[in-house]
């Protein structure tokens, strides 16, 4: 599919700006709870594993649908 003018720049800006606030919140939570001994560390690790499992299921469901929308040139 042809690119629209400015499409690449918008994607680059979003790839830089969106992850920063998304990562700052978990970093603050980990810094407050994760260093509180074994219990805090276990809570952080358990939460991260749970988030990883949820994202994996979400990706397996979303990616095939999105890829079906794209047009590819065979050759």
pLDDT tens, residue by residue, 7-25: 677 788 888 888 888 888 8
Look at the block and give the residue holding tokens 């969106």. Answer: 18
- Cα-based torsion angle of the residue sequence 9, 10, 14, 15 in order, rounded to the nearest 10 degrees: -40
pLDDT number for residue 74: 62
pLDDT number for residue 21: 84
- Cα-based torsion angle of the residue sequence 4, 7, 8, 11 in order, rounded to the nearest 10 degrees: -150
- Domain ranges in the chain? 7-69
pLDDT tens, residue by residue, 38-57: 887 788 788 889 999 999 99
């Amino acid at each position: 599919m042809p690119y629209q003018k400015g499409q690449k720049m918008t994607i680059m800006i979003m790839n830089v700006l969106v992850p920063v606030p998304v990562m700052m919140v978990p970093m603050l939570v980990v810094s407050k709870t994760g260093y509180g001994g074994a219990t805090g560390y276990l809570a952080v690790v358990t939460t991260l594993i749970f988030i990883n499992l949820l994202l994996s299921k979400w990706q397996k469901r979303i990616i095939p649908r999105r890829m079906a929308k794209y047009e590819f040139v065979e050759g």
